Amino acid sequence: MKKCTTKNRQKYFLNLLNFVLMTLAWAYLYSQIKNHQSFFLQITDLWNELQKNKAILSIVFALMFVNWILEAKKWQILIKSLAKINLFQSLESVWVGLTLATFLPLGNYLGRAKNLPQKNRFDSAGALLVNGGLQFWVTMLGGIYGVSQFLKVSNSITFLLFVFWILIYLLGLFFYNKYSYKEMFVSENNEQGRETQIKREGKFIRQLRTESIFWLQKNLYSISQYFQKDILKTTFFALLRYGVFLLQMILIFKASGFLLSIEKIIVGSSLLFTAKSILPVGGFLVGLSVREAMALYFFGTLGENKVVTITFVLWIINIGVPVLIGSFLILKNTKTKQNQ
């Protein structure tokens, strides 16, 4: 009887917690919209303009799903040593992580670890670090082009910057293969080698007597399990995801009636993505005020109101909609656990 009561209490607490998380996600979205009431009229005008190009708008929405499926594919590759999950489970984890990240500092990490076995969730931080690092490298690769065009740098210098940035990636890939963390501890990629590694890590940690070192060691070991082909695949999907972002920007600018060349849209977009990646704004979701300021700066010559509304509409499509989906997934998971 006591066990049953305890189990019911746990279910009630889990249900309440997930309901609170979902409510906070909705409240965040509402606050973002409420704080930008001055743009409602411009958004309405923009939406009416986009309605004239419903086919393009539908493609932009479809690309949102392509974007997150690519992100889910990256995550699926990077955590395959911890758990074998299908693409839908990976996508669910990514969306839940995005939702939790709206109000929790470690929300993205907690959400993405939800479909992993309990014993391996602690070790998924390394995969998240590699994922973010590779996407950052791709963003900076595009940023080199954007900054060079914006500052009117010569083509020869731009080419050298591209070569330098790609060389950094290739050198990192080479040294990872030659001197990876696993080579220091594990001689073979088998279960016996893994057990030996864990034992050695345990001994090392007991000597240092610190949990932080244990966490670092475990995640460094997890990172070292990737083959070069895993890193290359993840980089490829990161490049595709960046291309999807650019295509969305081009389509929505064109559908909005802006007489701007594709080259200038790409330059402005790459600058926007780069700034968002390096500015210390905190959290996974960049505040709309920061996004607007950057949009006004990089696309200022286009007319500030329409530029801001375009970035806001894209924010709703690419972030707002997935956050709402993620909140429903949180609620669905709660009901599922209650019925078990």
Q: 25 and 326 in contact (C-beta within 8 Å)?
A: yes
CA distances from 122 to 92, 97, 99, 334 (A): 19, 15, 20, 22
C-alpha R_g of the chain: 23
Model pTM? 0.76
Cβ–Cβ under 8 Å, residues 46 and 253: no
Task: Report the alpha-carbon distance of residue 320 to residue 297 in Å, rounded.
Answer: 23
Calculate the alpha carbon distances from 296 to 268, 271, 306, 309 in Å. Answer: 10, 12, 10, 10
What pLDDT is recorded for position 105?
Answer: 72
104 phi-psi bin (left φ>0, alpha ψ -120 to 50, beta other): beta
Supply the pLDDT for residue 190.
Answer: 45
pLDDT, averaged per 10 consecutive residues of the chain (340 residues), comes to 60 67 62 57 72 86 96 93 88 91 80 79 82 94 91 91 94 68 45 49 48 59 76 95 94 81 86 78 49 64 60 84 88 61
Instruction: Characterise 153 by phi-psi region: left (phi > 0), alpha (psi -120 to 50), beta (else).
Output: beta
CA-to-CA distance for 340 and 332, rounded, in angstroms?
13
**What pLDDT score does 172 carry?**
83
